[in-house]
A and B are shown apart, each in its own frame.
Chain A
Amino acid sequence: MEKAIKRYMPIFVLPTFCAFILGFIIPFLMGIWLSFCKFTTVTDAKFVGISNYIDALNDTVFRHSFWYTVLFAIISLLVINVLAFALAMALTQKLRGTNIFRTIFFMPNLIGGIVLGYIWQLIFNGILEKYQTALGLNEWYGFWGLIILVSWQQIGYMMIIYIAGLQSIPGDVMEAAQIDGANRWQRLWKVTIPMMMPSITICMFLSVTNGFKLFDQNLSLTAGEPSKMSEMMALNIFNTFYGRTGWEGVGQAKAVLFFILVVLIGVLQLRSTRSKEVQQ
């Protein structure tokens, strides 16, 4: 049987394989190579060693964007997960219309980042106008604006994952805890949360990586105003590539650093939360 299948290899694997080479492998390898080169187009690439990386690390705007992004990822992680968890708990109770509420809370998730950014820009500027200021005048307005925006966008998504997790907790475990005299608070901390650890792992992982990779919303809400102070890492990399001629190599070096950072965070985070999961 294997032999028969193998003869069909070109039909089954080749289309995806070729597209994958073209759309991922080549750009990825070329990206690593170019991060060690100075270039404006690929044909004039000259090897320069690690000088791009040094330039990238010495770039104060890039360093600022790093801390700005870290802070953003941590706060958005907390806000999104706490609220989504609470909502999931509330919407799995016996209430009228829980399905409609789930539908409503999930909806913003389907709207694209660019569109979301402009929707909220109108609202924030409308509010700030009353105080004679605007979103583009203070980096922290942009920061909290983005927090509100991504919370609005992602709470529904995380809520769905938490609801799926809550519904998979076997009823007898909860009953046993109740019979043993555990109160609501104890049941939450000693039964629900440990049993929910797989969902919590996934949601935390998703919200941290989403926070780090945030681009569209950042571009449309503030575009880095005032003077690049609300620029997050992804936007900073984009602006280095396309906003400064001669800096393409540095942009690529930043992108490699960014890639390493995202992978590192993913691995660390999965490890630390996985170790807290209980066997089911």
Chain B
Amino acid sequence: MKGKKNALSWFGTIGFSIMGVIYILPILIVLMNSFKKKVFINKEPFLLASAKTFTGIENYITAINKYELLSAVGWTVFITVGSVLVILVCTSMCAWYITRITTRFTKLLYLLCVFSMVVPFQMVMFTLSLVADRTGLRTPWGIIIIYLGFGAGLAVFMFCGFVKSIPLEIEEAAMIDGCTPLRTFFSVVLPIMKPTYISVGILETMWIWNDFLLPYLVLDLNKYKTISIAVQYMKGSYGRVDMGAIMAALILAVIPVIVFYLACQKHIIKGVAAGAVKG
């Protein structure tokens, strides 16, 4: 009986291994093609590079030099890190306040935040880009404010859910001992909420890093591009499309994501599960 179960388990493991390889095959194919000369990519995408088709890292050099991919990566990192930090600090403070103080204003604000979560971006995209234009927010610094505004809904909602579960007594004790509300928040509430910070931070990071349309419409594209925008520009400018450079760009876009994923895989998977249960 035990032997049979063991065999079955091995069978399952082997089956999943094959599936796993098939699952990452698309990325491997792109990786393989990124080392081929551009004319051979469309013709024979599934063949390994041969001596005739191999070009080394030339595609990567083109992508970086001609299409300024490194600066796109830099701006994406800047926008993502900046926005996520600002969102975490501002929305958690806001969520704490509107859960602890019940007035008509805070109730309304909470409802509006929940409401904003269901509104599709297409509804506000045109007017949002107008607002950004008028207020001079078309820079990577300005877009952080836009992300705070548009991403506030989900973050406030998730933080509120957690604040409700914190017993009031802890905060009261701190305040009686003479803490100001600010000090109470930063040295008592914030440490308790650490898991929620990680969950929200990961969800927002995944969203902002990969977002295309919002930065595409808001940013001044002559000066700043994110990775998604840079890739779309390489392909979108019809005429001569440099497939080699695109393959290299795709790989350069995927590498940071995979590194980030492998580094904090546990938190990501927990964050997703937690976010979904509350959402």
A105 touches B152 (CB 8 A): no
- Among B56-64, B109-117, B190-198, the stretch that binds chain A is B109-117
Beta-carbon contact of B24 and A107 below 8 Å: yes
Q: Is B201 an interface residue (CB 8 A)?
A: no
> For A129, what are the chain B residues with a Cβ–Cβ distance below 8 Å?
42-43
Residue B221 lies at the interface, judged by CB distance under 8 Å to chain A: no
A192 adjacent to chain B (CB < 8 Å)? no
How many residues on chain A are close to B (CB under 8 Å)?
93
Given A22-B145, A111-B210, A122-B33: A266 touches B273 (CB 8 Å cut-off): no
Chain B residues bordering chain A, tally (CB within 8 A): 93
The answer for the CA separation of A40 and B176 in the assembled complex, in Å, is 58
What number of A-B contacts does a CB cutoff of 8 Å give?
275
Chain B residues positioned under 8 Å from A23 (CB to CB): 128, 131, 145-150, 152
CB of A110 within 8 A of CB of B261, answer yes
Is the pair B123, A256 in contact by a Cβ cutoff of 8 Å?
A: yes
Inter-chain contact B149/A19, CB cutoff 8 Å: yes
**B231 at the A interface (CB under 8 A):** yes
Give the interface SS of chain A, mostly helix, strand, loop or mixed. helix
Inter-chain contacts of A105 with B (CB < 8 A): 20, 23
Please name the 4 residue pairs, one residue from A and one from B, whose CB atoms are nearest each other, closest first: A23-B149, A112-B210, A126-B45, A19-B149
**Apart from A19-B146, A160-B273, what 6 extra A-B contacts exist at CB < 8 Å?**
A13-B93, A27-B128, A28-B116, A91-B16, A206-B276, A262-B120
Residue positions of B touching A, CB distance < 8 A: 9-10, 12-13, 16-17, 19-20, 23-24, 26-27, 29-30, 33, 41-46, 90-91, 93-94, 96-98, 100-101, 106, 109, 112-113, 116, 118-128, 130-131, 135, 145-150, 152-153, 156, 172, 175, 180-182, 185, 206, 209-213, 227-228, 231-232, 235, 243, 246-247, 250, 253-254, 257-258, 260-261, 265, 268-269, 272-273, 276-277, 279
Residues on A lying within 8 angstroms of B by beta carbon are 1-2, 4-9, 11-13, 15-17, 19-28, 30-31, 34, 41-42, 90-91, 93-97, 100-115, 118-120, 122-123, 125-126, 129, 152, 157, 160-161, 163-164, 198-199, 202-203, 206, 209, 212-213, 215-216, 219-220, 233-234, 237-238, 241, 248, 251-252, 255-256, 258-259, 262-263, 266
